Every structure is written in C-alpha cells, then in structure tokens.
Amino acid sequence: MANLNVILSGAQLQVVDTNTSTTPVNFGLNNPTLAASVEQFIDFLPITVGALALTLPAATIWVFALRNLGGINGTPAGNITVQVQVTGGALGTAANSEVVAPGGVKIFWQPTEAANGIIGVTLSASVANTPAAILMAA
C-alpha cells in the first residue's frame, strides 16, 4: 500500500546568460510524484574505490537520486561511477556508466511503477571514501 509521496519539489532547470542578464531557458519539472510504500535516505555514505553494491529498499525502485558530496568540508573529492541495472537488463559496465563529479547529481525519477525500474546499483569512487547522499524509493 502506498503511504508515501516522494516528490521532486521545486525543480527548475534554467540557463542564465550572464552577459545580458536574460534567462533563455526556464523549464519547470512540475513536481513529479511517486506514490511509494518504502524509501531509504542515506545522508552520508563514503564510497569505496572498489565496487559497492547498494542494498535497495525493495526489489525494484522507481526513484534513485545521488549527490556527490565530495570536497565539502575537506571530504575526499573524487568522481563517483554509477552502474545501474534496469528491469530486464544487465548491470551496466563501469566504462559505459555515468560519472558524477564532486557537487554533481544523478536523478532517476519515475512517477509510476510502470516500466524500467532499477533492480541494481553499484557505486565506485575515483578517490577512496568520497561521500554521497542517496535517496531510493519504491
């Protein structure tokens, strides 16, 4: 039973031209919401150089958000490679996976439990103990 609303609230994508002080792109995401029954928030997880397979809060998750906290208050500032396995697919190789730089984010957000959920996530850092904040929901 869904008893949680997981909301990407207030997200606004903007491009600001600093020479003309204009905003040629101002694109709102309209608060996509997943009616969820379970969530897991990890506010500070040191990521190892080797592969770290996350334990998901459910067999399939529909929300995955990671923020690389590297470099904040002197923490190790490495890149984090995010390998994802979607329903019906294999875990992506590290060479073909997204890399999140310090201060960067990766967001996967499905407002319905319909298709292409995530069934596996493996993380690795270029510098030992690079920290991340992670939200997962299903």
pLDDT of residue 33: 93
Predicted confidence (pLDDT) at residue 113 exceeds the cutoff of 80: yes
Q: What is the mean pLDDT of residues 55-60?
A: 98
- Percent of the chain exceeding pLDDT 90 equals 81
Measured in Å, how far apart are the chain's first and last C-alpha atoms? 11
In the block, tokens 């329903």 appear at 87
Domains recognised in the chain with CATH numbers: 38-137 (2.60.120.770)
Average pLDDT, the chain: 94
Q: What is the pTM of this model?
A: 0.91
